[in-house]
Amino acid sequence: MTARAKPYLEHLSRAEDLETPYEATRAGFVALALEKNRRATPFVEQARALKVQAAKAKRAEDLLAISDIRPALLTAAGLSDKAKGHLTDDDKTKAIGELIERFLRPAGIRFVEELVYRFLLTRGDALGGSMRNLAGEVAAQRVTSAILSVLAIQESQFTCQDAQGTWDYGSASQAQKPAGMRGLGWRSKGGARTLVFNRTVPLVGKNVDVCLFRCDPGGANVALRNPDQFVALGELKGGIDPAGADEHWKTARTALKRITEAFDAKHLGPATFFVGAAIEKSMAAEIWAMLEAGTLTNAANLTNDDQLSSLCHWLCSL
């Protein structure tokens, strides 16, 4: 069969090509660490501002009189932004009172430091929750950027869906800042195409990381419920830690099998693909076997720019 019939042959020649080299793993860990620090910076700045305002109080009890820091006091009391929305003003005042009585007053003259520590503790929990999704977000951004680059060099017109769900015409400059995009639309030789991330596919009954439809962006929600509108479906795993690679692949493999079986039952055969950041030797061998057997259409290592660009070029040409 030709490379066109087996699109992965455009960038892969053997299973070993899929393996993530040590250098890419190291670079991935560093990139994630830098991103975590970047996202933590606003919380640190907020803590500094809180310290300045709280220092105006002579005693812990006086903090209640500083209205400007009331939201921060609630955070230090351990209340998330979501929890605050379910409490009355009296409940909030009681929570702050408990914070002062149990933790700040016993700290004596160091009550401001104690307040800042507890504020950061709660903010840290919120940051930790967002960090769990960080690898997936970064992976989606890399795929989006690669697709935009392909479309830009082809001088193809395209539309982008922002974080709020609004579709608008895109420009080549967006290839450098794809953060927050939820979807892309363009035209290929086969007609209108729309790609979306993280959608629940009714036929499959589960969330699918990437879906490509044969429709204009405005018809994406309808296409999601029409199996014959699917051109390709893919699983995207951005975790870089080798220790979790096998588990991520098991999840992706199960999802891909579920997708194939669901569409086979409808006598439909959209393309399927896998893109992963951490691909170990045994995984690479299994992915290659699936590619050769035709149970998987395409695959690429997320950390390999050439592979990712080739796979995205293939997506844009479908």
How far, in Å, CA of 142 to CA of 177, rounded? 10
Once rounded to an integer, what is the mean pLDDT over residues 168-181?
Answer: 63
Task: Look at residue 3 in the predicted model and tell me its pLDDT.
Answer: 42
Angle 269-249-196 from CA coordinates, rounded to 5°: 50
Strand order across the beta sheet in which 191-201 lies: 167-169, 158-161, 183-188, 191-201, 206-213, 230-237, 271-276, 298-301
Is pTM beyond 0.85? Reply is: no
183-188/191-201 β-pairing: antiparallel
Once rounded to an integer, what is the mean pLDDT over residues 50-60?
Answer: 95
| Range 60-63 contact pairs with CB under 8 angstroms and sequence separation of 24 or more | 60/100, 60/104, 60/105, 60/107, 60/111, 61/100, 61/105, 63/96, 63/100, 63/104, 63/111, 63/115
Alpha-carbon radius of gyration of the chain? 24
Burial 245-279 (b: 16+ CB within 10 A, else e): beebbeebbebbebbbebbeeeeeebbbbbbbbbb
Q: 191 — phi, psi (to 5°)?
A: 120, -160
According to DSSP, residue 106 is labeled G
Task: Look at residue 2 in the predicted model and tell me its pLDDT.
Answer: 38
Once rounded to an integer, what is the mean pLDDT over residues 110-123?
Answer: 93
Terminal CA-to-CA distance of the chain, rounded, Å? 18
Once rounded to an integer, what is the mean pLDDT over residues 276-281?
Answer: 95
Task: Look at residue 73 in the predicted model and tell me its pLDDT.
Answer: 95
Task: Look at residue 179 in the predicted model and tell me its pLDDT.
Answer: 63
Instruction: Compute, in degrees rounded to 10, the torsion defined by CA atoms 2, 5, 9, 15.
Output: -120
Top-confidence residue, 221 or 128: 221
Closest by CA to 146, choosing from 262, 318, 304, is 304
**Residues of the chain above pLDDT 90, percent:** 70
Domains in the chain, ordered, with CATH?
Answer: 7-35+133-317 (3.40.91.10), 55-131 (1.10.238.90)
How far, in Å, CA of 59 to CA of 73, rounded? 14
- Quick one: CA dihedral 153, 139, 220, 193, positive or negative? positive
How far, in Å, CA of 116 to CA of 262, rounded? 52
Task: Look at residue 76 in the predicted model and tell me its pLDDT.
Answer: 94
Q: Name the band, by pLDDT with cuts 50, 70 and 90, for residue 303.
A: very high
206-213/230-237 β-pairing: antiparallel
Burial 168-204 (b: 16+ CB within 10 A, else e): eebeeebbeebeebbbbbbebeeeebbbbbebebebb
pLDDT digits (tens, 9 = 90+) for 66-111: 999 999 999 999 988 788 888 899 999 999 999 999 999 999 999 9
